[in-house]
């Protein structure tokens, strides 16, 4: 028994070193808002929980043995058993102190968690919430933290009957709230389905009205087409005869005009031929006139030379 237990002074020193809120440890001041202190507090809480589990195992061991019955009535007479009894009592006191310190720490951590969650929700970059929305989420966070706290207390406390009853009450409230939310969801679904039904009915009425309008327009178009066909059958032959007569008259007029134009073209061609002939005659007479002018120039030059020679 003595080999399994450690020194009481060492256990008390370990509890003092593990507890960051121990006032006898001045080198580690507690500042819950600091993340490093919060990490130390969580580590201390985990260490205290592990120590509490070990002490609970020892308590269970002493409860299951006759030796624990002797210790519970009076201090043992055997010196080794007395030392074990004293160490056991010191462990129980240390355990109670740790439990109270851990409960305080847990309450502070839960408050810090709730504040941190609200701060993150209101200051995040992607779709931040307003303060009212964060306050609306705050009861859900507090209920979640309360549930976690009840579970921890139920697992660590020696007598968990009251804690379990609180947990049962919380679960009942949670079930009632879930039922209320489900009822609200059903009401919303019913409202949405009613709105969708009304919208479908309205769209169906509009579709039927458009369909009737389209059918009436189609029937009108078919009636107009049939009427046009009958009119075309009645007036096609006289119209074609009139058009053929107009065509023939225009053709005859164009042929007469073409004959007249051909005559005019013949006249113009003969006039052009005569003009070309006259042009050739003029060219010939012009060349003969040039020759005559040249001959006269030669004669005049010769006369001038004769006169000059005579005067000398």
Angle at 203 (CA atoms; ends 197, 206), nearest 5 degrees: 145
Alpha helices in the chain (DSSP H): 8-18, 35-63, 66-73, 79-123, 131-156, 161-311
User: Distance between CA 13 and CA 180 in Å, rounded?
Assistant: 52
User: Distance between CA 109 and CA 149 in Å, rounded?
Assistant: 11
pTM > 0.75: no
Q: What is the pLDDT of residues 100-158, one digit of tens each?
A: 777 777 777 767 776 776 777 677 777 676 766 666 665 666 666 666 666 666 555 45
Judged by average pLDDT, the poorest of 160-169, 246-255, 280-289 is 160-169
Q: In the chain, pLDDT over 70 holds for what percent of residues?
A: 54
**Does the pLDDT of residue 99 top 60, yes or no?**
yes
Q: In the structure encoding, which two tokens stand for residue 230, read together?
A: 């009958």
User: Distance between CA 223 and CA 243 in Å, rounded?
Assistant: 28
């Amino acid at each position: 028994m003595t080999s399994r237990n450690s020194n009481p002074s060492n256990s008390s020193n370990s509890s003092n070193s593990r507890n960051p809120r121990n006032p006898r440890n001045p080198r580690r001041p507690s500042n819950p808002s600091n993340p490093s202190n919060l990490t130390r507090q969580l580590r201390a809480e985990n260490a205290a929980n592990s120590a509490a589990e070990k002490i609970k195992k020892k308590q269970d061991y002493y409860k299951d043995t006759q030796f624990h019955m002797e210790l519970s009535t009076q201090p043992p007479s055997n010196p080794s058993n007395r030392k074990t009894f004293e160490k056991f009592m010191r462990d129980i006191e240390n355990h109670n102190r740790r439990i109270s310190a851990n409960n305080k720490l847990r309450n502070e951590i839960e408050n810090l968690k709730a504040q941190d969650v609200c701060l993150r929700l209101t200051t995040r970059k992607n779709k931040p919430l307003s303060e009212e929305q964060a306050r609306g989420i705050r009861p859900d966070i507090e209920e979640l933290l309360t549930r976690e706290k009840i579970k921890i207390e139920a697992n660590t406390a020696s007598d968990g009957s009251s804690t379990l009853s609180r947990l049962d009450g919380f679960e009942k409230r949670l079930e009632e709230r879930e039922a209320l939310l489900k009822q609200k969801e059903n009401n919303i679904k019913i409202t949405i389905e009613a709105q969708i039904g009304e919208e479908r009915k309205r769209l169906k009425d509009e579709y039927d009205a458009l369909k009737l309008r389209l059918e009436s327009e189609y029937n009108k178009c078919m009636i107009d087409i049939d009427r046009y066909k009958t009119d075309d059958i009645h007036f096609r032959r006289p119209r074609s005869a009139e058009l053929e007569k107009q065509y023939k008259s225009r053709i005859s007029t164009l042929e007469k005009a073409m004959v007249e134009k051909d005559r005019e073209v013949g006249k113009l061609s003969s006039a052009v031929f005569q003009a070309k002939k006259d042009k050739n005659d003029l060219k010939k007479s012009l060349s003969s006139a040039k020759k005559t002018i040249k001959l006269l120039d030669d004669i005049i030059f010769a006369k001038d030379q004769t006169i000059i020679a005579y005067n000398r």
